[in-house]
Structure 1
Amino acid sequence: MSFLEYRVKSAPTGLAKVLHLNWALVLLVTAVASVGWLMLYSVAGGDLDTWAGPQMKRFALGFVMMLVIAFVPIWFWRNVSGLAYLMSLVLLLVVEFFGHVGMGAQRWIAIGPLVLQPSELAKVTLVMMLATYYDWLDPRKVSRPLWVLIPVVMIVLPTALVIMQPNLGTSLLLLMVGATVMFLAGVSLWYFAVVAALGVGAVVSVFTLRGTPWQFLHDYQYRRIDTFLDPTADPLGAGYNIIQAKIALGSGGWTGKGFMQGTQSRLNFLPEKHTDFIFTTLAEEFGFVGAFSLLALYALLIAFCVASALQNRDRFSSLLILGIAANFFYYIAVNLSMVMGMAPVVGVPLPLVSYGGSALLVLMAAFGLVQSAHVHRLR
């Protein structure tokens, strides 16, 4: 029996696909999203229609998308990964010329009633493209310079387009998730050592060239770094957000002030309380216990993804799942570091919890790919 015949015969069909879904993953995704609905209801002062209601509708749409994508054979997604990657690059170019400007950045495009942020889509299509590339490539060539340069170009293209928006947070996520897939594919550690050395040099250059015509970052991004280093230098200006976030985090104590009793959020001291800083509301109202519980749900979700990847004997599927899990982890790590003052504020939402459209729908589609790889794995 050929490999293709084995792949087809081993794949479940019809209603059997429902039974082969990773139901633990489905329940965990729903549980984390439910935490988000609860907090959005709270920060809106008990109003369902402001943020929680629309978020529930988007999750319902995303849930259907996840199931539809899960039931499509994984080889189909492998075959269209190149097209999906090119489409995301085209959309990023469209944003550059015709994008909608909001909060000082040009990151969105309007497609009928839908407002899409293509940079969110790029994070998933990049993982798909890299997984396809390393599935095709002979493992003996993985660390040869020419075959290392090709995925580097794949990563740099969307990253450069996202930086131009400007969107520093998403561009960093693209670099990190791309490097992670390359590492998991077996690229030599020497390349990463060289990149790390260049990264140190880039950081030095960022600070050295500040105030010159050749500075690397925008002025508002430099202010974010200044705020990160010393938020008390401008407590009523640039440092206000992070100071209020720390107050909310610390005031929750072990068990919190109670549901809808958070003074920082109810009195509108917290910035972006329904998006980037929603974790601080959770910590204030439910304390360490509530915050740790959400982190435990996140950890379980990532653990089930990793377990699914390790059980999968298809190289594309394994790299795809691990890449999506890494993207999810970086999302969480960057957001939490940001709201706790451990990293500059870069505008990265908390996945499945923060209010948003594009980020939620793309993330649900990504979990659909994870489910497709799980359902159609070789048995």
Structure 2
Amino acid sequence: MSYLEYTVKSVPAGYRKVLYLNWPIVVLLTAVAGVGFLMLYSVAGGSLTPWAEPQMKRFALGLAVMFAVAMVPIWFWRNMAAVAYGISVLLLVYVEFFGAVGMGAQRWIDLGFMRLQPSELTKIALVVFLAAYYDWLPVNKTSRLFWVLVPVFFILLPTVLVLKQPDLGTALLLIIAGGLMMFIAGVHWAYFAVVIAAGGGLVYAVFTSRGTDWQLLKDYQFKRIDTFLDPSSDPLGAGYHITQAKIAMGSGGWTGRGFMQGTQSRLNFLPEKHTDFIFNTLAEEFGFVGGVSLLILYLLILVFCIASAMQNRDRFSSLMILGVGLTFFLFFAVNMSMVMGLAPVVGVPLPLVSYGGSAMLVLMLGFGLVQSAHIHRPR
């Protein structure tokens, strides 16, 4: 027995779980959140209010949630997967009828002290539920048609409810995350080929439907597509957001203008500078080096998730860890693509950096599940 193993085993069982935590992930999450605090302080003109201080409190609460979830055995969370999924769907139905309205969308439940966005909870609940489903399903049935259609139904149900809010960005994330879960679970590639072909047909139908009685997207969503394809066509209207975002990124150069020296954010040219477009503020103030540094932190978190999943011999745990890691990847990949003009603007926040409560707390809950699987893995 090595000295390290002896030291760990000499610690009382109640405290040993803390030593088994995946501490690199904890450190990396804290580092990314620290970047967020710094940028929220900057966009507020050098003040902790109104964004940085609440964000710090939320992250502290998120850490507490992550540690609490991590201490609970992973089998408990597996048994609760269907319950969590059911609750998330019921909350989406509740929002449809009684949800709070903001910025033209009905997406929130007003709890008084904060606004809860159930669609954020659904992202994690869906991943956990699909991991439990494929853990229960015998491997030889994974690609049989009936057993493929079952998870498709469970993916589409919350997706349709989220689309009605309307929230196209989150709906797309649910579909992509669900599809990735099916893929890593071993569903045959031919099903995905059919879906991709159908997706191409749907895109054609969407553009064909424009201006007709059966229009598939709302006018503002078509406007976002137009803006994505040609922002310069309306630089002071629909293209304003992405035009200013590109100016902010380009003006940062290699090393940036300096902390709190970004003109686009300080002079309020950059819209939603504390939420969706906060990455542009970072790029303007810290340049290419700052943007790439944040991207490296994100990728390291993903790498440690993949490594933890590969080390885990429990099928549910491995699938769930990969699912949470890939959902996290979709968050930052879509946001960065969006604010750089590589994808339409769909309102996806930059994880742990953008200002917001629901997204941060649910993400920390997801990483708590990752930690639980890591701590309680077969040894």
Match of 1:170 in 2: 170
Query: What are the within-5 Å matches in structure 2 for residues 50-89 of structure 1?
Result: 50-89=50-89
- TM-score, reference length from structure 2: 0.96
Match of 1:339 in 2: 339
Query: What are the within-5 Å matches in structure 2 for residues 227-246 of structure 1?
Result: 227-246=227-246
In the alignment, the residues of structure 2 paired with residue 70 and residue 259 of structure 1 have an alpha-carbon distance, to the nearest angstrom, of 36
**2:258 paired with 1:254:** no
One-letter amino acid of the structure 2 residue matched with residue 99 of structure 1? G
In the alignment, the residues of structure 2 paired with residue 212 and residue 31 of structure 1 have an alpha-carbon distance, to the nearest angstrom, of 49
- Listed as ranges, the gaps of 5+ residues in structure 1 are 1-11
One-letter amino acid of the structure 2 residue matched with residue 143 of structure 1? S
In the alignment, the residues of structure 2 paired with residue 314 and residue 112 of structure 1 have an alpha-carbon distance, to the nearest angstrom, of 40
The offset of 1:49, in angstroms, is: 1.7
In the alignment, the residues of structure 2 paired with residue 201 and residue 347 of structure 1 have an alpha-carbon distance, to the nearest angstrom, of 25
Query: What are the within-5 Å matches in structure 2 for residues 212-223 of structure 1?
Result: 212-223=212-223
In the alignment, the residues of structure 2 paired with residue 273 and residue 79 of structure 1 have an alpha-carbon distance, to the nearest angstrom, of 41
Q: Pairwise CA RMSD of aligned residues?
A: 0.7
The offset of 1:83, in angstroms, is: 0.4
Q: Which consecutive aligned stretches of 4+ in structure 1 deviate over 4 angstroms post-superposition?
A: none
Query: What are the within-5 Å matches in structure 2 for residues 109-120 of structure 1?
Result: 109-120=109-120
Residue 53 of structure 2 aligns to a residue whose secondary structure is: helix
Match of 1:5 in 2: none
In the alignment, the residues of structure 2 paired with residue 279 and residue 190 of structure 1 have an alpha-carbon distance, to the nearest angstrom, of 37
Match of 2:32 in 1: 32
Query: What are the within-5 Å matches in structure 2 for residues 298-309 of structure 1?
Result: 298-309=298-309
Residue 352 of structure 1 aligns to a residue whose secondary structure is: coil
Residue 76 of structure 2 aligns to a residue whose secondary structure is: helix
Residue 49 of structure 2 aligns to a residue whose secondary structure is: helix
In the alignment, the residues of structure 1 paired with residue 239 and residue 246 of structure 2 have an alpha-carbon distance, to the nearest angstrom, of 11
**2:249 paired with 1:211:** no
Once the two structures are superposed, residues 22-41 of structure 1 have per-residue CA deviations (whole angstroms, 9 ceiling, x without a partner) of 00000000000000000000
Match of 1:225 in 2: 225
The offset of 1:116, in angstroms, is: 0.3
Match of 2:295 in 1: 295
Match of 1:348 in 2: 348
Residue 107 of structure 1 aligns to a residue whose secondary structure is: strand
Once the two structures are superposed, residues 90-126 of structure 1 have per-residue CA deviations (whole angstroms, 9 ceiling, x without a partner) of 0000000001111111100112423100000000000
Residue 275 of structure 1 aligns to a residue whose secondary structure is: coil
C-alpha distance 220-131 of structure 1, shift in aligned 2 (>3 A): same
In the alignment, the residues of structure 1 paired with residue 336 and residue 170 of structure 2 have an alpha-carbon distance, to the nearest angstrom, of 15
Match of 1:9 in 2: none
Match of 1:140 in 2: 140
One-letter amino acid of the structure 1 residue matched with residue 284 of structure 2? E
In the alignment, the residues of structure 1 paired with residue 97 and residue 16 of structure 2 have an alpha-carbon distance, to the nearest angstrom, of 46
In the alignment, the residues of structure 1 paired with residue 365 and residue 315 of structure 2 have an alpha-carbon distance, to the nearest angstrom, of 20
In the alignment, the residues of structure 2 paired with residue 231 and residue 160 of structure 1 have an alpha-carbon distance, to the nearest angstrom, of 29
Match of 2:125 in 1: 125
The offset of 1:296, in angstroms, is: 0.5
Residue 101 of structure 1 aligns to a residue whose secondary structure is: strand
The offset of 1:14, in angstroms, is: 1.0
In the alignment, the residues of structure 2 paired with residue 145 and residue 111 of structure 1 have an alpha-carbon distance, to the nearest angstrom, of 42
The offset of 1:353, in angstroms, is: 0.3
Percent identity between the aligned chains?
70
Match of 1:96 in 2: 96
**2:185 paired with 1:185:** yes
In the alignment, the residues of structure 2 paired with residue 40 and residue 60 of structure 1 have an alpha-carbon distance, to the nearest angstrom, of 16
Residue 64 of structure 1 aligns to a residue whose secondary structure is: helix
In the alignment, the residues of structure 1 paired with residue 104 and residue 238 of structure 2 have an alpha-carbon distance, to the nearest angstrom, of 15
One-letter amino acid of the structure 2 residue matched with residue 22 of structure 1? N
Residue 211 of structure 2 aligns to a residue whose secondary structure is: coil
Match of 1:199 in 2: 199
One-letter amino acid of the structure 2 residue matched with residue 347 of structure 1? G
In the alignment, the residues of structure 2 paired with residue 347 and residue 164 of structure 1 have an alpha-carbon distance, to the nearest angstrom, of 15
**2:323 paired with 1:318:** no
In the alignment, the residues of structure 2 paired with residue 255 and residue 149 of structure 1 have an alpha-carbon distance, to the nearest angstrom, of 50
One-letter amino acid of the structure 1 residue matched with residue 21 of structure 2? L
The offset of 1:212, in angstroms, is: 1.0
Residue 50 of structure 1 aligns to a residue whose secondary structure is: coil
Residue 38 of structure 1 aligns to a residue whose secondary structure is: helix
- TM-score, reference length from structure 1: 0.96
Once the two structures are superposed, residues 198-233 of structure 1 have per-residue CA deviations (whole angstroms, 9 ceiling, x without a partner) of 000000000000111211111100000000011111
The offset of 1:373, in angstroms, is: 0.4
Once the two structures are superposed, residues 30-67 of structure 1 have per-residue CA deviations (whole angstroms, 9 ceiling, x without a partner) of 00000000000000000102100000000000100000
The offset of 1:13, in angstroms, is: 3.7
In the alignment, the residues of structure 1 paired with residue 100 and residue 112 of structure 2 have an alpha-carbon distance, to the nearest angstrom, of 13
In the alignment, the residues of structure 2 paired with residue 337 and residue 343 of structure 1 have an alpha-carbon distance, to the nearest angstrom, of 5
Residue 14 of structure 2 aligns to a residue whose secondary structure is: coil
Match of 2:4 in 1: none
In the alignment, the residues of structure 2 paired with residue 241 and residue 75 of structure 1 have an alpha-carbon distance, to the nearest angstrom, of 46
One-letter amino acid of the structure 1 residue matched with residue 123 of structure 2? K
Once the two structures are superposed, residues 186-209 of structure 1 have per-residue CA deviations (whole angstroms, 9 ceiling, x without a partner) of 000000000000000000000000
Match of 2:368 in 1: 368
